[in-house]
Structure 1
Amino acid sequence: MSTREWLLTEQPASRRQARLGQSYRTWLAFRRNRLAMIGLGIVLALVAVALLAPFISPYNPIVGGDLRTERLLSPSWQHLLGTDDQARDILSRILHGSRITLLVVALVAVIATPIGLLVGTTAGYYGGWVDTVLMRLTDIFLAFPRLILALAFVAALGPGIENAIIAIAITSWPPYARLARAETLTIRNADHIDAIRLQGAHSARIIWGHVVPLCLSSVIVRVTLDMAGIILTAAGLGFLGLGAQPPQPEWGAMIAGGRRFILDHWWVATMPGLAIFVVSLGFNFLGDGLRDVLDPKAQK
């Protein structure tokens, strides 16, 4: 029996074989979506560029060249994407800026996702006044646009990439809480949950051991789809000078620095803008593909 036949068998001999077979079927379904594969390629390219930026950058992203001869040079073989007003190579700055973008995306996902899952599953499982209090708190956060609320938190915490990440994470969890609550309401009275409860399992174990795993796939899809918004929020804070501080090569700050030259030297602001566009599009494509293969309602 080949490996493919072993994975696709309808009668798995072990739990491990069943899990691997389900994962392989999910991958096959995902691979049939061309846009999802493009999105996966873009995200993997972002990760690779972020990891290899110090080795593949042709110039120093912080220190520029001669201001008399290398300032605001148009794209050429020497500087593929041109130089900015400080004679710094734009390609090198974009490559190193991908590290900041990946850092923001990863940390926001790591911080916001558990908070949203905890709030949503707790509210959905207990119901009553616990549900009312937690959901009204969630509604308060949802009542404000994400960027405006992030601006308020950064203004209170102070400018900087660390505070920007905290502010974005604080404003990103409410949609995950809403989704987790909706999923929990549909499964909290399921037969297997009642059986676990009758065995004497306490509520915390039921929530984290059985409810959260069932909600996780839907939340992962939502997190992936939200990555574009997180990137845009981080770029917006950088554009306003509240995110990564100069001379860090953050894409939003690069656009802000190049807006003065947009008419005569368009590449200074356009190139980091294209980077934001491509990465955001990649996460959207990836999220759409994951939604198609992980949504239980879409599976036949």
Structure 2
Amino acid sequence: MSEQTLKQWLLSDAPASRMQARVAGLYQGWLRLTSNWMTLTGLLILTALVLIAACAPLLAPHDPFDQDLLNRLKPIGFDDHYLGTDSLGRDILSRLIYGSRITLYIVALVTLIAPVVGLLVGTVAGYLGGWADQILMRTTDVFLAFPRLVLALAFVAALGPGIENAVLAISLTAWPPYARMARAETLTIRSSEFIAAIRLQGAGPLRIITRHIWPLCISSLIVRVTLDMAGIILAAAGLGFLGLGAQPPSPEWGAMISEGRRFILDHWWVATIPGLAIFTVSLAFNLLGDGLRDVLDPKDGGHG
């Protein structure tokens, strides 16, 4: 099949099979996603972050834990320390590269926990209604009543410092918005005619929720998750800054800022560079989230 024929097949208005319709839909969504240069920029930054994290041992010029007290607080471009050194003489670039692994680790774990819990709680509450809805939504309201970082601090204080406990604390504070969104969509879906038809065929609540409601909530959930990533990264950096996240000598970006804040006036690069890394990755997730909202959200799709 030639390139022109393949393009015509992908852009066909009358697909001949379900597979063609699915592939064509993915292709057209990709075209809309990449037609916005800001979204494409965010995607490229995050792709670069994943590649940097995967190839950290090859890219890092030094061991991120090696200390050289004779070369502490050296400026950018000193010798082969391209971004300078910190107060213990450790190479900042190497610690930044290895720190990207911790950032992605936190993002991945929170993404696996918070949206799943929120989707489960929201769809069950929306479909069952009654006392189940009241109990689940009032519990959600309790979590929403507190600022996320304050609640995360309370959980970490109870669980103890550490990266796993920080991930658990962030997840426990991140799921309520997903539950609210899933419940709102479920309330709309459960009154539709196709759900009534499925119910008449004998399908139980569990089958209806998992096989028919969840797939319809996934696209909005993906958009919300992507837009929330910046907040998750900032919460993790905040916990690290306060010494409640990843523990020394781990090269976590928030902890690097905390360590460098003592020298911010005379040796600005120690704290500024990891801060710029957090800003860049957070911005990339927001740019990508805006593009995904245009592609996946049926209420806003196609306006990018």
The alignment's TM-score, normalised by the length of structure 2, stands at 0.96
Letter in 1 for 2:74: L
When the two structures are aligned, how many residues end up with a matched partner? 298
Residue of 19, 24, 34 corresponding to 1:31? 34
SS at match of 1:41: helix
SS at match of 2:55: helix
Q: Among all aligned residue pairs of Structure 1 and Structure 2, give the percentage whose two residues are the same amino acid.
A: 66
CA distance in 2, matches of 1:7, 1:191: 31
The reply to whether residue 73 of structure 1 matches residue 68 of structure 2 is no
Q: Report matched runs for 1:254-293 at 5 Å.
A: 254-293=256-295
Residue of 117, 121, 124 corresponding to 1:122? 124
Deviation string 1:101-156 (CA, Å, 9 cap, x unpaired) is 00000000001111000001111111111111111100100000111101111111
CA distance in 1, matches of 2:106, 2:87: 26
Deviation string 1:196-241 (CA, Å, 9 cap, x unpaired) is 1111111111101110110110011001000000000000000000
Task: Indicate conservation of the 8 Å contact 2:293/2:301, yes or no.
Answer: no
Letter in 2 for 1:244: A
Residue of 114, 117, 130 corresponding to 1:112? 114
CA distance in 2, matches of 1:112, 1:85: 36
Gaps of 5+ in 1: none
Letter in 2 for 1:30: L
Q: CA deviation at 1:13?
A: 1.3
Q: CA deviation at 1:299?
A: 3.5
Residue of 79, 93, 98 corresponding to 1:91? 93
Letter in 1 for 2:76: P
The alignment's C-alpha RMSD in Å is 0.9
Which residue pairs with 1:186 in the alignment? 188
The reply to whether residue 136 of structure 1 matches residue 127 of structure 2 is no
CA distance in 2, matches of 1:285, 1:299: 15
Gaps of 5+ in 2: none
Q: CA deviation at 1:191?
A: 1.1
Deviation string 1:22-65 (CA, Å, 9 cap, x unpaired) is 11111111111111111111111111111111111000001122
SS at match of 1:159: coil
Task: Indicate conservation of the 8 Å contact 2:162/2:245, yes or no.
Answer: yes
SS at match of 1:144: coil
Q: CA deviation at 1:298?
A: 2.1
The reply to whether residue 174 of structure 1 matches residue 160 of structure 2 is no
The reply to whether residue 47 of structure 1 matches residue 61 of structure 2 is no
Task: Indicate conservation of the 8 Å contact 2:226/2:286, yes or no.
Answer: yes
Which residue pairs with 1:235 in the alignment? 237
Moved over 6 A (4+): none
